[in-house]
A and B are shown apart, each in its own frame.
Chain A
Amino acid sequence: MHEVRDEELMARYQKGDESAFATLVSRHELRLWNFLRRYVGDPDTAEDLLQEVFMRVIRSASEWRNDAKVSTWMFSIARNLCTDHARRQVHRKAASLDATPERIGDDDSGPRLLDKIAGHEPDGESRLRDKETILRLDQALAQLPQEQREVFLMREVMEMPFAEIALAVGASEPTVKSRMRYALERLRVLLADLNDLADADVAVATGGR
């Protein structure tokens, strides 16, 4: 079945069709949310930023022209919001990015990310492994330089092609790929002790490389 393109939905929304925008939200909110969640670490901040992304799209909808991809536009807004947020955090000397992983595992006050994850793994041992893996990944992502982190998350969470990432971050495609390689190399070091877990999972899930 033919899926209506994002650009067509936006054009309809410009004419006052609010259901078209609802479709756009449904289509992109999951990736945007996970991107923001992984980028800033704090779920409350990510929630605020997600709302701000859509509000900016709404406010600028009347000025959008049908020669730019809606998804790239949205992801660019999200990325810019994250950049601004990180900049503010640096100025406030707040260690939210570093503190977030600890909060995930230690904070009992709010809803935990892992608690929201559906129990697709009936095995309790696997769930523990996932918890550990997610915690370690968040810690590792927090240690990446910003330009590497955003490229990694855009590619792995938002599933954006490198060409679109380059457009979103204002860099050339080779530069984006280079940042991606450096991100992977750093994550390899930071997640080296998880290789055994990964080997086990890979053996189960894909049967090896």
Chain B
Amino acid sequence: MNTDASPPDRFESLREQLVDYLYNQADVATTRAIESAMAESEGFSLEVDALARTLRISRRALAVASSPAPSRVRSSVLAAAAEQAARMRESGLEPARLVVRNETDDHGGSQGALATLWRWFSRPYTFSLVGVAAVFAIFVMTRGQNAPQLADDAMRSVAESTSEPAARATAAAPTEGQPGTEDRDQELAEDKAGPPAVRFQNEPLGKLARKSSPKRITKDFGRKGDALDDTFGGIAGGSVEAEAPAQAHAPAKSAPAAAPPPTQASSAPVGVAAEARSRAAKPSVIAQTNSEVASVADESVVQERDEKKESGSAPSRAELLARAKKLEAAKSYDEAAAVWAELVRRFPKDPQTAAWRRAETAARKVRN
């Protein structure tokens, strides 16, 4: 029989199988290899024998030391089990539908963590919580994405309310080459004026709207726009008396109007239209004019200014008014209508312009 001259790792692979051999779980080949090695090496044989003896000693000691569990544990456990059984009877649990809670998961590493997550997410109330959180997140994200769009909308509405009356006035004003316009012609001219807020969509104010909050933009422009609507609505209603409260603000609202659309009416060589275009091209001047005109409460101041602008070879506003009334008194309605039209053309911003237009229309009807 060989001594322990063999290298120590010679039997290492066999040692890996020793447990199977000791518990009679090794296959035939392994069993033969181990027994062959034991026959070949006395040291390995003693080693295997010592392990087997240790196992026998342990088993014997464990068998002798085996003792029944304390009875008080059993009694307390069974009492608790009875209570739990009663609860489960009442709740009517269905075992097959329930989720395992395997205690091995407590120390099961990543698989245990995944199983725990899966159990957690598979519960209905978890889905409810996740659903509520998702809806809230979508709401917040949508709200954030819509802010610029809301700013654009606010700017557009403000621009419409600001520029629409001016466009109406400009488009409705008869040009020198026209013999005169009917009410329907005026409406058509208004339609041709096109969308008055186009400038705000593509030009710097549109960018401003994206950078600014809707609230601030509305704060800057909205109040004036509302006042403009009120003013021109009252005028359109035909009541001269009703115009009075709004007359003081009317020039202020029409002055900063956006540039008139390139319609035939606005392209006519009319001084007011050209002035409006030049003002629209200079936002800072417009703002200055706004503040100036808004501070003017007396209608006569505006009228005098307009008269002053129109001073020169042409007759003044007062002269034209006197002439028109004189012609009407003389029942020269055709000529009176021409004078009214001249007033409308030359003083489109005058609060009386609408009344003059009606007088012009009335004179023409009488003439016809």
Contact = CB atoms under 8 A, between A and B. Distances in A.
A76 interface: yes
B51 A188 contact: yes
B78 A168 contact: no
B95 A11 contact: yes
A185 B51 contact: yes
Given A67-B100, A73-B103, A47 B67 contact: no
Interface residues of B, number: 56
Contacts of A192: 50
B98 A62 contact: yes
A121 B60 CA distance: 12
Interface string B68-112: 111001101110111011101101010110111111101111000
Nearest to A10: B95
A107 interface: no
Contacts, number: 195
Contacts of B61: 130, 133-134, 136-137
A181 B18 contact: yes
A44 B76 CA distance: 15
Interface string A95-126: 00000000000000000011011001100000
Nearest to A51: B73
Nearest to A65: B100
Contacts of B58: 137, 152, 156, 187, 191
A162 B52 CA distance: 18
B77 A55 contact: yes
Contact of A21 (B50, B51, B76, B81): B81
A202 interface: yes
Nearest to B49: A209
A29 to B, nearest CB: 4
Chain A interface size, as a band, is: 35 or more
Given A65-B96, A65-B100, A18 B78 contact: yes
A65 B95 contact: yes
A22 B100 contact: no
Contact of A137 (B62, B78, B95): B62
A198 B84 contact: no
B264 interface: no
Closest 7 CB pairs of A and B: A16-B89, A33-B69, A18-B85, A65-B100, A54-B77, A63-B101, A188-B54
Interface of B: 15-16, 18-20, 22, 25, 49-62, 64-70, 73-74, 76-78, 80-82, 84-86, 88-89, 91, 93, 95-96, 98-104, 106-109
13 contacts: A13-B88, A14-B93, A15-B89, A21-B78, A61-B84, A63-B100, A77-B103, A162-B19, A177-B19, A181-B51, A188-B50, A209-B49, A209-B52
